Every structure is written in C-alpha cells, then in structure tokens.
Amino acid sequence: MTKSKKDGVLHKKISRRQLLKMTGIGAAGLAIGATGIGGILSTIGKDWIAEDEAPPAKNSVNFYGDHQAGISTPSQTHIYFVALDVVVKTKSELQQLFKDWTPLATKMMRGEIIGTASTDMIPPKDTGEALGLDAQNLSLTFGVGESLFKKINLGDKKPTQLKKLPHFPKDQLVEAYSNGDICIQACADDPQVAFHAIRNLVRAASGRVTLKWSQAGFNAIAKKDGHSQTPRNLFAFKDGTENPRAKEDLNKVVWVQHGESKPWMTGGTYLIARRIQMHLETWDRTALDEQEATFGRHRNSGAPLGKDGEYDAMEIERKDEDGHLIVPNTSHVFLAKSVKARLLRRSYSYVSGVVDSTGTHDAGLLFISFQKDPQQFIDIQNSLGRLDKMNEYITHRGSAMFACFPGVRKGSYIGETLFSTL
C-alpha cells in the first residue's frame, strides 16, 4: 500500500490484489465487473485508488503485456545493455531477485523514482540522476543465459535452443564482451534515463549479481512527414529496413509459439547480442560505389541496388542487360537473403574511445537481434561466411545469447513463467 498526493489531497493507493483481500474475495471467488469494483471502492472510501488503473505516464512504454517491452517497441535513441553474473545459489533466491526487480522496473518505465530514504542518515533508494526527466519511453527487457541454468538447479527447464553460438568467420571474440547469466536491455530517448534504470536495478541486486560487461549505444532517428525513419549505422547505411512489423509477421519470426520451445518461453523470444568493431578508417577510404556493392543497397535512399525506394523488394536474382547480377553475390544483403531465415534487428552504434594498439576509433555496432529460434541467426551468419565483402571492414569482438521471458501480467513478476512451471 502506498500514498500519493493529488490536488492537494493525500490519497491511499491500493493494488487490485489488496482490494480483493479486503473485500474477502479470493482467487476462487466471483468475478466483479467495473460497476462492482466501483461500488466496493465507494464503500471503502473515495481516497482509495486502484494502482492497476493509474493513468498512462508521459512518454512511457507499458511494462505489462503479452510480450516484454523493448523488442517490437519502436526503437528509442539510446541503449544501455548489461550482462550480469549471478551470485545467488538457489531457485528461490533467483526468483526473489526477479520479484524485487519488477516494481522497480514498473516505476522507472513510468518515469517515477523508486523510493526515498526513510531518514537523511541513509542513502536514498533512488540514485536520483533522472530527477526532473519523464519516462523518455524507457523500456526494460530481461533475459537469461545458458550459464544460469548450470549455476542454478533449474532441472530440465533450459531450452535446447539456448546454447553458445558456433564460431563464425571473422570472430575474434573476447570474454570481456561475451556471454552472461542475465541480461538487461534498457532503451530510452535519453541516455541518462537508460543508464539510471540499469544502475538502480544492479544496485538493488547488490550481493546477488555482479557486472560482467556492458555497452552504451545510440541511434539518430530522422523524421520525415512526422514518421520515424530507419536508423543509420556508422557506415551511414540504414539498419533494419526489412524488420517484421505486423503482428502476424512477428509471430512467424520473433515470438515463440506454443510447442516451439519450453512451455515457459511461449510468448518470449531469443536475443542475440554481437559487439562488432567497425574499421571506420578503412571504410572512409572506400569509394561510394564499392561501399554500396558491399551492402547491396544505395547508401542515401536505402533502396536495393538498381531501385529507388527503401522498401522495394530486394529480388537478388535480378540481372542487368549483360546478364550480370545487379546485387553482387558477395554483398552483405545478397548472402543474407540467400537463406529464408529472417529476424528482427534492433541494433545501436557505439563509440568507446581509441584502440591503443592502432590509434583508431574503437567504434562499431552493438548488433541485437530477436528471433523465435537462434537457428535463424545462425543460418544467416553461416550464409555470410567468408564471402561477405563486409568482412573487410568489421570484426566481431563480443557474442552472447539470452532467452527473453514472455511479457508480465499485472499482479505477476518478471520471469514468473519459468518458476511457475518448475
């Protein structure tokens, strides 16, 4: 039970679960319609407010739903991604961690502080750097890695799809940017709001998790006629043009359906994160036509080579009047389209200083994709292989895979399906 002040009046806030307890209605009791709830509230007193019915916050993304936020949510301009290792040893401790995170995530996604100190003699519950800012469309997405199932006795709950990715050409992976027991993806339209969310969640889990690796990233999302355009990566090419967007398409590509994985994963998805260094200095010495031949698209419009519109069909088999392929068969897009697999890209650029050994930019792409089966990514990456012209300009430095829970129902908590099916 909490209190809030509105119009100068102190109101007591009560959850729907507390309301049902107070009225003697248990889980097996009768269903109450809107009129019935209103009648009960009037008998309790007008200063009681049901928390479930709080109005939407400014610039906020809904925490609750069939799927977690931050996946099919429209891309925000900033990300702070963190991989954690757990210190807890038991299922109950892990379950409590996710329970503790749930109200904090809910509050921060509404732009609220997570609490104040009970006295000036102790640190505040909220670190405070987001004070004065609204929710900034913050989304928080949680996932678990295969290593977690080894550390915590979760029986046979680990999906067969959740495993380390195979070695791919141009992989020069470092453990400092790979793997992890838990991931949290915080996306927002303000970098401080995204970092604030991760900072407070990790702080609340002190003694139960440790930081393994993290990466901040950014996107510049242009507007045209009031509509957001596809973000560009640091090579200046659009990233995510062919993402699935319609519900039916998302069900085919992104969301795990019943029977496709472990039951607790239904409505969830698999997240793959790759930290890809982009050799900007080499790219900047490359002619525009060679850059476009590397991607298989025109840089400015994002259209397939030989076409005008970004969303025109790629049709990689097209040939010119001399019988030559218009989209080179060594281009990134040609090789990716050569397999039928699709995925949802949600990548962000990063800049992390200078590579000491070369004096070049340590910059690139925090590639993030969501797919109902990691094999979709593996098929595409295997198709790219050593033929991909992009390999001349990039090196994969980090790699991780996480199983992302389905969405959270009101009154439940993050990851509830994993623990309820144990």
Q: What percent of the chain has pLDDT over 70?
A: 86
Q: How confident is the model at residue 38 (pLDDT cuts 50, 70, 90)?
A: very low
Q: Are 319 and 329 in contact (CB under 8 A)?
A: no
Please state the rounded mean pLDDT for residues 380-406: 97
Render pLDDT for 182-234 as a digit per residue (tens, 0 to 9).
999 999 999 999 999 999 999 999 999 999 999 999 999 999 888 999 999 99
Confidence (pLDDT) at 175:
94
Confidence (pLDDT) at 356:
84
Q: Are 391 and 347 in contact (CB under 8 A)?
A: no
Pull the structure tokens for residue 227.
């509509």
Render pLDDT for 42-98 as a digit per residue (tens, 0 to 9).
333 333 333 444 667 899 999 999 999 999 999 999 999 999 999 999 999 999 999
Q: How confident is the model at residue 297 (pLDDT cuts 50, 70, 90)?
A: very high
Q: Quick check: 104 pLDDT over 80?
A: yes
The model's pTM is 0.87
Query: Lowest-pLDDT range, 97-106, 218-227, 389-398?
Result: 218-227
Distance CA 71, CA 294 (A): 28
Distance CA 311, CA 303 (A): 7
Count of beta carbons in the 10 Å neighbourhood of residue 93: 13
Please state the rounded mean pLDDT for residues 174-180: 96
Q: Quick check: 243 pLDDT over 70?
A: yes
Render pLDDT for 378-388 as a digit per residue (tens, 0 to 9).
999 999 999 99
Distance CA 402, CA 167 (A): 17
| Backbone φ and ψ of 22, nearest 5° | -65, -30
Tell me the H-state helices in 217-271.
247-253
Confidence (pLDDT) at 321:
94
Confidence (pLDDT) at 28:
39
User: Which sequence spans correspond to the domains of the chain?
Assistant: 2-53, 56-422
Please state the rounded mean pLDDT for residues 1-30: 43
Q: How confident is the model at residue 4 (pLDDT cuts 50, 70, 90)?
A: very low
Q: Are 23 and 68 in contact (CB under 8 A)?
A: no
Pull the structure tokens for residue 343.
């995925």
Q: Quick check: 14 pLDDT over 50?
A: no
Confidence (pLDDT) at 372:
98
Please state the rounded mean pLDDT for residues 159-179: 94
Render pLDDT for 112-153 as a digit per residue (tens, 0 to 9).
999 887 788 889 999 999 999 999 999 999 999 999 999 998
Confidence (pLDDT) at 357:
86
Confidence (pLDDT) at 54:
60
In degrees, rounded to 5, the angle at the alpha carbon of residue 196 between the alpha carbons of residues 194 and 198 is: 75
The per-residue pLDDT of the chain, averaged, comes to: 89
